[in-house]
Each structure stands twice: as C-alpha cells, then as structure tokens.
Structure 1
C-alpha cells in the first residue's frame, strides 16, 4: 500500500535511536502518522519542524499498518516563527489543535486548504489574529460543531445579532435574548466579518470559540482537555490587548 501527497508536518516524536514518528496533515489523507527512518539525524532533524510544507510519500505492507514516510521539504516556516513569538505560539496552537481534534486518516480537504492559507500568513502580524479566529470557526464547522450566525434563533431576524446560544451555537438578537441575555455569549461583529475587528473584539471571539472547543468538541473526543498550546497563544494575545 502506498500514496503520495503534499501536506503540513504537525508533530515529530523520537522513535528508537535514529527514527521519528511524524504526523502530517494532507488534503487527501487527513491526519496521518508514519515512521521516518533517520529522522532524528543531524541532517534531517532541522527540516522536520512542525508547520513545514512537505512532499510526502507513505508506504506500508497493509493499510492498517503505521508504515513509513519519505518526507521532502518544500517550504519551511521556521524562519518566520523563530523571529516572532506570536507567530510561534500561533503555529503551535494550530498544529496542536489539529493533532488533538482530527480523526486519524479522515480527509478534511476544506480545512486543509484553510490551514495552509493561515500558515502562509504567519508573517502578517496585523492579519494573523483575526485569520486564526476564523480558522477556529472553520475547524469547528468541519468537525460538525459549526456555529449558525445567519439569523436569530428566536425571531428569525438577520440583522442586529448580538448574542450566541452557548448550547446550540445559534445567533440571537438583543430583542430575542430578552431576560436570558446574561446566560448567552456575546457575539462580536468580527465573527460576522463586520467592522474593523479591533483586538478587543478578536479577544471576545476567542472566548466564544474557546467555549465551543471546550464544551462541545472536547467532550465528543472523550473529554480530553484542549491542548495547552491553544491557551498559551490566547494568553499571549490577551496580554498584548491589555498592554
């Protein structure tokens, strides 16, 4: 059994004396693991950095086997993240969430495309925080936990949406919220792709996506806690907002 695809390196773990087990994300194969012979060597280790764009060839005797990878680097993102603390934290959040949330060997081509586009913005510090927020929305949607922000769940109105139901992910207007407004999540305009998206709104957006990642996605995966890398990135961003 074998396949070849282009993809993103998500993680690398030492395996034996000189090999590593790598996890990659490709449009056709989804999240997929394999052994890289010699991956821990001085020659190969510098290229096997999470976030790198790779040409990937996988081979195994049987489909269910772990198999081996031959990885050829196409584009490194290491230079960007090593010189930018926020970019490094963001990259770690993306790769950790993908390793956490994606089912093994299940294709998610739309999410893959969004992920590649996001990682290509790592050096765009003015665009990255909002792009990352919308990527988290895309992650939730692709895994079956998407938010419905098109109309009010109570009145059906499409304008004046101000809240989100923490249970259903449906948008609600101020009038529709009524006496239950304090039980709902605020809906920042940046989640609707409206307005200038100041950092304070983006921070509120992270609280919204964080709720659905923690309270909806994580329990579906066996109540595993979200990767700490996600919170580290959000905390770093919040410190910048508060400064």
Structure 2
C-alpha cells in the first residue's frame, strides 16, 4: 500500500531510539498516523513541528497497518507561532482539537482547506481570532454539531435573534426567550457572519462554540475533557481585550 498527499502536522512523539510517530491531517486521507524513520535526527526533527506543512508519502504492507512516512517540508509555521504568544496558543488549539475530534483516516477536505488557510494567517493577529471562530463553527458542522442560527427555533422569525439554545444549537429571538434568557447562550452577530467581529464579540462567540465543543462533541465522543490548549488560547485572547 502506498499513497502521496500533502498534510499538516498535528503531533509528533518519539518512537524507539531514532524514530518518531507523527499524526497528520491530509485532504484525501484525513487524520493519519505513521512512523518516520530517523525522525529524531538533527535533519528531520526540526521539520516535525506542529502546524508544519509537509509533503507525505505513506507506505505499509497492509492498509490497516500504521505504516511509515517519508516527509519533505513544504513550509514551516514555527516562526509565525513562536514570535507571538497568541499565535502559538492558537496553533496549539487548532492542532489539539483536530487530533481530538477527527475520526481516524476519514477525509474532511473542506475542513482541511479552511485549516490550511487559518494557519497561514498566524502572522496576522488582527484577523486571526475571527478566522479561528469561523474555523470552530466549521469544525462543529463537520463533526455533526452544526449550529442553526438563521431563524428563531420558537417563532420562525429572522430578526432580533439574540440567543442560542444550549441543547439544540438553534437560534432564539429576544422576544421568544422570555424568562429563559439567562439559561441561553449568547448569539453575537459575528456568529451569523454579520459585522466585522471585534475582539469582544469574538470572545462572546467563543463562549458559545466552546459550550458545544465541550458539552456535546467531547461528551458524545466519550473522550477525556476537551484539550486544555483550547482554553489556553481563549485565555490568551481575552487578555488582549
């Protein structure tokens, strides 16, 4: 078995004396793991940094084997991430969430494309948080937890939408919320793709997406709690408000 693809490095860990096991996200083969021979060497180890864009050739005797990778660097994102605390926290959140959420070897080409575009914005802190929020919305959608925010779940109206039901992920208008308003999640305009999305509004929106990542996606996957990298990014972001 053999295939070639391009991918984003999610994680790398030492394997034996000289090798590494890496996990990558590719457009055609999804989240995929494999062994890199000599992955701890001075030549290859610097390439295997989270977020790196790699040219990958995977080989295995049988399809269900872990197999081995031959990797070639396409571009590194380490400089953009290491030069800014928020960028580094954001990169770690993206790679951790993908490793946590994605089914093994299941392609998600739309999510892959948006992930690649998001990571290429790491050196643009003025637009990155909004791009990250939109990426989280797509991640929820791709995993089957997309939010329905166009009409009120109670009245069917399209205006005065102010809340999100924490159970259904559907919008609720201000008038329909009534006494239940304090039990609902905020629906800032930026969640519906309206407006420029200032930092305060993005932070409010991340509270809502965070609920569905934690209370729905992570719970239904039966995993441990959501990766702490996501909370660290949100904390780093809110500190700049």
User: Following the alignment from structure 1 to structure 2, what is the Cα–Cα distance between the partners of residues 233 and 84?
Assistant: 12
Is the partner of 2:240 in helix, strand or coil? helix
User: Following the alignment from structure 1 to structure 2, what is the Cα–Cα distance between the partners of residues 26 and 223?
Assistant: 23
Alpha-carbon shift at residue 21 of structure 1 (Å): 0.1
User: Following the alignment from structure 1 to structure 2, what is the Cα–Cα distance between the partners of residues 224 and 148?
Assistant: 27
What is residue 234 of structure 2 aligned with on the other side? Answer: 234
User: Following the alignment from structure 1 to structure 2, what is the Cα–Cα distance between the partners of residues 99 and 14?
Assistant: 17
What is residue 224 of structure 2 aligned with on the other side? Answer: 224
Is the partner of 1:118 in helix, strand or coil? helix
String of CA shifts for 1:122-144, please: whole Å, max 9, x gaps: 01110001110110010000000
User: Following the alignment from structure 2 to structure 1, what is the Cα–Cα distance between the partners of residues 213 and 78?
Assistant: 27
Q: TM-score, normalised by structure 2?
A: 0.98
Q: Does 1:22 align with 2:22?
A: yes
Aligned pairs for 1:17-166 (under 5 A) are 17-166=17-166
What is residue 190 of structure 1 aligned with on the other side? Answer: 190
Is the partner of 1:33 in helix, strand or coil? strand
User: Following the alignment from structure 1 to structure 2, what is the Cα–Cα distance between the partners of residues 69 and 62?
Assistant: 14
Q: Does 1:178 align with 2:147?
A: no
Alpha-carbon shift at residue 159 of structure 1 (Å): 1.6
User: Following the alignment from structure 2 to structure 1, what is the Cα–Cα distance between the partners of residues 90 and 15?
Assistant: 27
User: Following the alignment from structure 1 to structure 2, what is the Cα–Cα distance between the partners of residues 201 and 127?
Assistant: 13
User: Following the alignment from structure 2 to structure 1, what is the Cα–Cα distance between the partners of residues 184 and 83?
Assistant: 39
How many residues in Structure 1 have an aligned counterpart in Structure 2?
Answer: 241
Structure 1 ranges of 4+ moved more than 4 A: none
String of CA shifts for 1:17-70, please: whole Å, max 9, x gaps: 100000000011000000000010011111111101111110000011000000
Alpha-carbon shift at residue 178 of structure 1 (Å): 1.7
Alpha-carbon shift at residue 195 of structure 1 (Å): 2.1
Alpha-carbon shift at residue 181 of structure 1 (Å): 1.1
User: Following the alignment from structure 2 to structure 1, what is the Cα–Cα distance between the partners of residues 179 and 230?
Assistant: 33
Alpha-carbon shift at residue 223 of structure 1 (Å): 4.1
Is the partner of 1:106 in helix, strand or coil? coil
Unpaired runs of 5+ in structure 1?
none
Q: TM-score, normalised by structure 1?
A: 0.98
What is residue 169 of structure 1 aligned with on the other side? Answer: 169
CA RMSD of aligned residues (A): 0.8
User: Following the alignment from structure 1 to structure 2, what is the Cα–Cα distance between the partners of residues 224 and 14?
Assistant: 23
Alpha-carbon shift at residue 196 of structure 1 (Å): 2.9
Is the partner of 1:96 in helix, strand or coil? helix
